[in-house]
Structure 1
Amino acid sequence: MEKIMGLKSLWEAFRAENPKVRIRDAAKQLDTTEAELLATSTGETVTRLTNDFQEILKSVESLGKVMALTRNDFCVHERKGVYKNVTFSGPMGLAVNPDIDLRLFMMQWSSAFAVDENGRKSLQFFGKDGEAIHKIYLVETSDVRAYNTLVKAFTAADQEEPLLIQKDKKVAEEKPDHEIDVAAFQEKWLNLQDTHEFHGLLRKFGVTRTQGLRLAPEGHAVAITKESLKAVLHKASETDLEIMVFTGSAGCIQIHTGLVKNLLQTGPWFNVMDPDFNMHLREDAIASVWLVKKPTADGIVTSIEVFDQSGEIIVQFFGKRKPGIPENEHWRLMVNEIAVISR
């Protein structure tokens, strides 16, 4: 308790001097975590929820339209819609809808809070490392009464239970290229039947994602520029081409499928600012951008994948598609044309 009170005083002093700094950035500056900072307001603007994460998520449909937010350090993905069709198979979950489209990895989820920030109500979920995994904000048309009912149903009995934070983050070490059976790796790549098999391919050969792109079969992974990425998004906006935007945290991947219309540069941030979808991409954190082609049973699937300096994926872009249907030919032609120009 003494530690929490000390952090609370530190956090209050920091906010007084830095009112515009977001809690995620403040946590880094204060050498703590967002979850720990949030917990200092328990009993005031914050309510600790139980760890029945699956049941909480299944109950969110009752709130009506909300805004789902998933982010990493360099990309924020915000999508408005109704939580429906939330299902789980063990620790793996799905919410498959035209608007709220999520892939959930519950083994990473560790704590949950209901938050009321000056009337802005939300449900916030955090990982074992104290970093935000997923947040759900009420919007103007949300059912506040249903939100209050949900919070009451899932309020934790012990509001002072300490958070168990595991800060040690393992960084994958990259094996030297000469230790990889590149020929076998490329052969397996060319025989992929589904994009979801790609993670298994990387694990099988012990390569990191960016290393795998470097060692890809000829023509299947091409480095392109940040300017090319923005050119693709501008072209998609101008031609009303529906695309897919994937952004992930440690325990959630959030997907937007549809148009991207209102594009805006604000300092280092490249933004999509549409009524039901916002994306904020920290452009100066981008270390590499790749045009990637993966074979599937439905033909080649083409993506643009964006990485930071540590080789962590920031965001991915695809043409709109569903399993069993070939990817949009307009997307494929557009990204290939722009990639050729950028080289």
Structure 2
Amino acid sequence: MTQTSQLADANSAALALLREAFTELRTARKLRHREAAAELGVSEGEALAAFVGEHVVRLGAQNADQFAALFEQMPLLGEVMVLTRNDAVVHEKTGTFGTMSRTGPVGLTVGPAIDLRIFYAKWASAFAVREVHDDGVRKSLQFFDAQGVAITKVYLRDASDHAAFDALVAQYAAPSQEAGLSVEAAQPRAPQRDDAQIDVAGFRAAWSAMNDTHEFFDVLRKFGVARLQALRLADKAYAEPIALDAIDALLNDAAGTQLPIMVFVGNPGMIQIHTGPVQTIRTMGPWLNVLDADFNLHLRTNLVAHAWVVRKPTSDGIVTSVELFDAAGENIAMLFGARKPGQPEREDWRAVVQRLARIERPESANEGVNA
């Protein structure tokens, strides 16, 4: 037997063991894909790819343009559920895709239900999944980054166009349906600059001179400031820390008044947005949940390490957000009052946020706040 054959046999055996262990965890402990993969020390993408040739089909997209061409077929599927998450928050929206567009590797779809900002340069693999459950076959399209971490998933509903799904899978199936997935190690985060290295006066002046919320990212880059660091260094009029559990009060307040809000959740490859009211708020252990017909949100409150109210000047006046961060300083969610460009911010949203600022905040909850 040649060395190549031995390696192939060893790889095949390893994949068989992975499939067996993954299935056992899913069955015996009712774990979700992500949880079962983590228990086995592999990424979710690696676990899913082990089933290529069974209930999983590898799709042939390999670069940003190809992923965009594939994802821009989503309107053909009709009503679907789109799931985007990070380690702390799961965001699920049900509806139909509207017009898809892109500029280079950055895509956009804006609609009454499905509202996405898409960063195709971060996409690395895609799969079609037909998984048997007690209630029938669950079909989905799942997209992963180079580390095998899920970027977004599109699940079919009863009302979806299942024939369009099948045709799409047949059209985009990769020539090779060999099981397995090679992943890359994550790049280390760039070190944060010391506060003393930041031109704080210049940074604050640039913040106060903004005319659009999107200019904030340019300001951060210009002054070399990390996002959470920027909030600490900002003028108190523009950023203030709040209690970590304020998000619970915010969602319940919004539900009680039917205040329409915007909820942004994302990862490096996708930002997903809900716009509208929320209704059913439930706490289950560490999870704070929105459980509405077309919008579900699941927030691991024990992973929220920092919470801030942030105010940005725009040509329409101040725009206020509530922003949540994990222990590493990564943004995990942002909430705004619902508004469209050209409209001033809602006064009832400002009133809700102002009430949050009065919730008692333990000083240990947000260290290093502005003096």
TM-score category, normalised to shorter length: over 0.9
1:176-215 equivalences in 2 (<5 Å): 176-215=194-233
Aligned to 2:93: 79
- Alignment-derived partner of residue 35 in structure 1: 45
2:59 — aligned with what?
A: 49
Residue in 1 aligned with 2:126? 112
* 1:147-170 CA distance string (max 9 Å, x none): 111111111111128634112232
Whether the 8 Å CA contact 2:212–2:314 is kept in 1: the answer is yes
Question: Deviation of residue 214 (structure 1)?
Answer: 0.1
Moved more, 220-229 or 166-175: 166-175
Alignment of structure 1 residues 1-343 onto 2, 5 Å: 1=8, 2-17=10-25, 18-51=28-61, 52-118=66-132, 119-160=137-178, 163-343=181-361
Amino acid in structure 2 at the alignment position of 1:280: H
- Root mean square deviation, CA, Å: 1.4
CA distance in 2, matches of 1:10, 1:145: 31
Asked if structure 2 preserves the Cα contact closer than 8 Å seen for 1:5 and 1:40, the reply is: no
Mapped partners of 1:338, 1:306: distance in 2: 13
* Matched-pair contact (CA < 8 Å) for 1:8–1:37: no
Letter in 2 for 1:277: F
Stretch of structure 1 that moved more, 29-38 or 60-69: 29-38
* In structure 1, distance between residues paired with 2:179 and 2:245: 48
Contact 2:118-2:270 at 8 Å conserved across structures: yes
Paired with 2:79 and 2:18, the residues of 1 have a C-alpha distance of 36
Q: Is the 8 A contact 2:22 2:37 kept in 1?
A: no
Shift of 1:28: 2.4
Amino acid corresponding to residue 237 of structure 2 in structure 1: G
User: What's the offset of the Cα at 1:4?
Assistant: 5.0
Whether contact under 8 Å (1:294, 1:302) holds in the other structure is yes
Q: Percent identity?
A: 48
User: Secondary structure in 1 aligned to 2:37?
Assistant: helix
TM-score by structure 1 length? 0.96
Following superposition, the deviation at residue 26 of structure 1 comes to 2.4
Residues 264 and 274, structure 2, Cα contact 8 Å, conserved in 1: yes
Change (3 A) 1:55 1:236: same
Letter in 1 for 2:291: M
Out of 248-257 and 30-39, give the one that drifted further.
Answer: 30-39
**Per-residue deviation, 1:38:** 0.5
Kindly indicate whether the alpha-carbon contact (under 8 Å) linking 2:49 and 2:179 is maintained by their aligned counterparts in 1.
no
In structure 2, C-alpha distance between the alignment counterparts of 1:336 and 1:210, rounded to whole Å: 20
Q: Distance in 1 between matches of 2:359 and 2:53?
A: 57
Is the contact between residue 63 and residue 143 of structure 1 (CA under 8 Å) also seen in structure 2? yes
Give yes or no for contact 1:65–1:138 (8 Å, CA) kept in 2.
Answer: yes
Work out the CA distance in 1 between the residues paired with 2:180 and 2:20: 20
Query: How far is 1:235 from its partner?
Result: 0.6
Counterpart code for 1:91:
P
Amino acid at match of 2:159: T
Asked if the contact 2:244–2:305 (Cα under 8 Å) also holds between the matched residues in 1, the reply is no
- Give the letter aligned to residue 54 of structure 1: A
Specify the structure having the higher radius of gyration (Cα): 2
For residues 22-61 of structure 1, give each alpha carbon's deviation from its aligned partner in whole angstroms, at most 9, with x where no partner exists.
2212222322211111111011110001113212222111
Query: Which runs of no fewer than 5 residues in structure 2 stay unpaired?
Result: 1-7, 362-371
* Unaligned stretches of 5+ residues in structure 1: none
Return the letter of the residue paired with 2:210: L
Task: Tell me which stretches of 4 or more aligned residues in structure 1 moved more than 3 Å.
Answer: 161-164
Deviates more, 1:30-39 or 1:261-270: 30-39
Return the offset for 1:14: 4.2
Cα separation, 2, equivalents of 1:329 and 1:342: 23
Alignment partners' CA distance in 2, 1:132 and 1:209? 23
**Shift, 1:80, TM fit:** 0.4
Moved more, 71-80 or 137-146: 137-146
Tell me the CA shift for residue 138 of structure 1: 0.4
User: Once the 2 structures are TM-superposed, how far is the Cα of residue 9 of structure 1 from its aligned partner?
Assistant: 1.1
C-alpha distance in structure 2 between counterparts of 1:341 and 1:31, whole Å: 40
Decide whether the 8 Å contact of 1:35 with 1:131 is kept in 2. Answer: yes
Following the alignment from structure 1 to structure 2, what is the Cα–Cα distance between the partners of residues 136 and 294?
Answer: 33
Conserved? CA contact 1:33–1:131, under 8 Å: yes
Q: CA deviation at 1:175?
A: 1.4
Name the SS for the 1:330 alignment partner: helix
